[in-house]
Amino acid sequence: MLKIEGLQKQYGTFQAVKGIDLHIEAGAIFGLIGPNGAGKTTTMKMIATLLRPTAGKIVMGEIDVTRRPEEARRRMGYMPDFFGVYDDLKVSEYMEFYGDCHRVPRAGRERLIGDLLELVNLSHKKDAYVDGLSRGMKQRLCLARCLIHDPELLILDEPASGLDPRARVEMREILQELRRMGKTILISSHILAELAEICTDIGIVADGRLSVSGPVGQVLRRAGARLIEVRVAGDPAEAAIRAGQLPGLSSVQQTEHGLRIELDGEDEAVAQLLAGLVGAGVPVIHFAELQSKLEEVFMAVTGGEAK
């Protein structure tokens, strides 16, 4: 769906993006993560045709984005990391305006706008002024605006920035729904937790370079051992002894209510561990992989600038 090769951006003597290679499959949610100033927004603006790369190539489907920006704009929706409003414009008028700008046929547009507002839970605000919406609502409206011309690719720059927890959950649910609708999504954030939960793939940008990228699980494994938290019904000390006899584990640590086990390997290894614990008579009542490893990868790559 989206292929980026050797992407660079130079502003005078400052090089904001120093060479990014990226491949996003159709239907994926790709999370671009990195600290502020890492080059995420510049990269996204270049993909969205708002900035011209100094070097490199961006291809969306069969379209060279740099050479045929008009065509690329028809097939992508862009949501910046801010929300600009026009005074005195109602929600439905706001959508109408961008419908006009994207030359969406007027026939059936009212229904389309209704459906999009329903998707982002703003149907009840159709006649409200945009200026009076909460930040979360504005973000969702901005997302609906991105969808008015039915793009295949969505470029969302920090869509959950500044939202309260409830609004973040709502945004996450909408993104999952969009993925089910077949959209390919490129999303950026400097908050790890936001992306880890919704992305299929992830890329870590630091100092203008893409340091790590791939499916979330693969990136996690690059960090080394997987960390499994186990809670047991009986004595944790006894459980630790039994778990310690299992093969292929890096370490077994006893905690207050159970164990913390480190192991290398794919998902099969994790499944074998669970089977092994149960087989060894450990009374398992909770078995889960801890997500903190992504944070460790991020910290290692960005030199401790994670938020």
Partner 1 sequence: MGGLRERLLNPVLLREGRVRMRGWRAPALIAVYVGVIGLLLLGMMATMNIGTSGFAPEMGAILFAFLAVVQMVLLLVAAPGLTGAALAGERERQTLDLLLVTRLSAFEVVFGKLMAALGFAGLLLVATLPLYGVLFLFGGVSLMALGRTILVYLATLYFVGAIGILWSTVLKRSVAAIVAAYGTVLFLTAGTLFLIVITFVLYNQPENVPAWIALPIWLNPGVALAIATGGPLSEVRSIFDRVFSVGFGQAIWWVYGLWALGLGSLALWAAARRVHRLTQE
Site for partner 1 in 212-231 (CB under 8 A): none
Angle CA 45–50–51, to nearest 5: 75
The verdict on 128 binding partner 1 (CB under 8 A) reads no
Q: Which of 157, 142, 160 is nearest to 45 (CA)?
A: 157
Q: How far is the CB of 207 from partner 1 (least distance, A)?
A: 22
| Closest CB to partner 1 among residues 80, 162 | 80
Which two tokens mark 253?
């640590």
CB 198 within 8 A of CB 159: no
Q: Does 88 bind partner 1 (CB under 8 A)?
A: yes
Specify the DSSP class assigned to residue 28.
Answer: -
Q: Does 87 bind partner 1 (CB under 8 A)?
A: yes
| One-letter amino acid of 172 | R
Please name which of 195, 209, 192, 206 lies closest in space to residue 22, comparing C-alpha atoms.
Answer: 209
Confirm or reject binding of residue 139 to partner 1 (CB under 8 A): no
* CB neighbours of residue 14 within 10 Å: 8
Among 16, 29, 33, 104, binds partner 1 (CB under 8 A): 104
Residues binding partner 1: what is the number (CB under 8 A)?
A: 33
Q: Return the number of the residue (112 or 240) whose C-beta is nearest partner 1.
A: 112
Least distance to partner 1, CB of residue 80, Å: 6
Helix (H, G, I), strand (E, B) or coil at 3: strand
Which of 48, 117, 246, 301 touches partner 1 (CB under 8 A)?
Answer: 48
Residues contributing to the site for partner 1 (CB under 8 A) = 45, 48-52, 69-70, 73-74, 76, 78, 80, 82-89, 93, 97-98, 100-106, 145, 149
